[in-house]
Amino acid sequence: MPVAGLRRVDHIAIAVREIDAALTFYRDTLGIMPSVVEDVPTEGVRIAFLPLGGPDGTKIELIQPLDPANSIGRFLEKHGEGQHHICLEVDDIDAALAHLQAEGAPVLDSSPRISAEGRAIFIHPKGAHGVLIELVQREG
């Protein structure tokens, strides 16, 4: 049985060493203007959202670690810059989490965490054929 209320690809996250340097490509070369550039201290990162396709379109999320020892910093050290995760929007994060736990999916969160977009959980890459998946229930 699939996760109920799966809506769309919310964003594709790219780990970068320096958001300002990455923006010279995404903003200046491709012409994608960031809607948000901010620090998210609870996650230990600086993010930039680059929207495509209007208000309900998919976004590119650039993620820069604020601390090289956090999970994004460790990812960069091990893998270098590049795709970090794919985020899918769901209607009900609590129901999605319960469903995934019942199915035995390798969920990294025992309860939803507060994210830049709302409430979220992550599925380990070993359960998604090598891709870290985030599910998010957007605020509002």
For residue 43, give the nearest of 22, 23, 24, 64 by alpha carbon.
64
If phi > 0 it is left, if psi is from -120 to 50 it is alpha, else beta; for residue 118 that is: left
Q: Which residues contact 113 (CB under 8 A, 6 or more apart)?
A: 119, 120, 121
Q: What would the two tokens of residue 139 be?
A: 């605020």
pLDDT for 1 equals 67
Query: What is the reported pTM?
Result: 0.93
Which residue is associated with the tokens 């020892």? Answer: 69
**Whole-number Å distance between alpha carbons of 58 and 118:** 16
All domains of the chain in start order, with CATH? 6-138 (3.10.180.10)
Could you tell me the CA-to-CA distances from 26 to 9, 14, 120 in Å, in that order?
19, 11, 26
Q: Name the strand (E) or helix (H) holding 7.
A: strand 6-15
What length is written for the chain? 140
Query: pLDDT of the chain along its 140 residues, tens only?
Result: 688 889 999 999 999 999 999 999 999 999 999 999 999 988 899 999 999 988 889 999 999 999 999 999 999 999 999 999 999 999 999 999 999 999 999 999 999 998 888 999 999 999 999 999 999 999 86
